[in-house]
Amino acid sequence: MLIEMEISALTMDPMQNAPLVILKEKAGERRLPIWIGLLEAGAIAAKIEGVDFSRPMTHDLVFSIIEALGGRIDRIVVSDFVQSTFYARIYISADGQNFDFDSRPSDSIAMALRANVPIFVDSGVIQKSQKIDLPDGKFHVSDKEKMLEILENMNPEDFGKYKM
């Protein structure tokens, strides 16, 4: 079963000093933290903030190519969680055909923002990810929820001089 999600926060994990995107269930309270790379965080942040660059970034270029070829991104799905790695699919329709492509969740989220399409997470991913150990492995499920709440409410200034 697919669950529609939205970006709840794009922040830094102060314990791992890594960017973190937190997806939140649109019609519920479940949240999914996904640690991502700096470049992908920059691509997501630029779109959220409405920053336009004089030259296209990679995600903008790919999106333009898809559109120029008559394609349309329909949705993205965070589809699996295996050995602490999230997997995603980008679903595209073009010329009466449907395609789906393997993608990192961060890239698929960046593409979903550009195409203004829904972000879905397979319910199995949420179940599997409940076993994620946050740094040092001493967190219980209730602590994870509290940690997510704290991270969602942090500002970039809380992390010092980190720059995207």
Q: What is the pLDDT of residues 45-80, one digit of tens each?
A: 999 999 988 999 999 999 999 999 999 999 999 999
Q: Which fold has domain 2-159?
A: Bifunctional nuclease domain (3.10.690)
DSSP strand pairing (85-94 vs 97-103)? antiparallel
Structure tokens at 53: 């660059």
pTM above 0.85, yes or no: no
Q: Which residues pair with 93 in a beta bridge?
A: 72, 98
Q: Per-residue pLDDT tens for 34-54?
A: 999 999 999 999 999 999 889
64-122 confidence digits (pLDDT tens): 999 999 999 999 999 999 988 999 999 999 999 999 999 999 999 999 999 999 999 99
C-alpha–C-alpha distance, residues 8 and 15, integer Å = 19
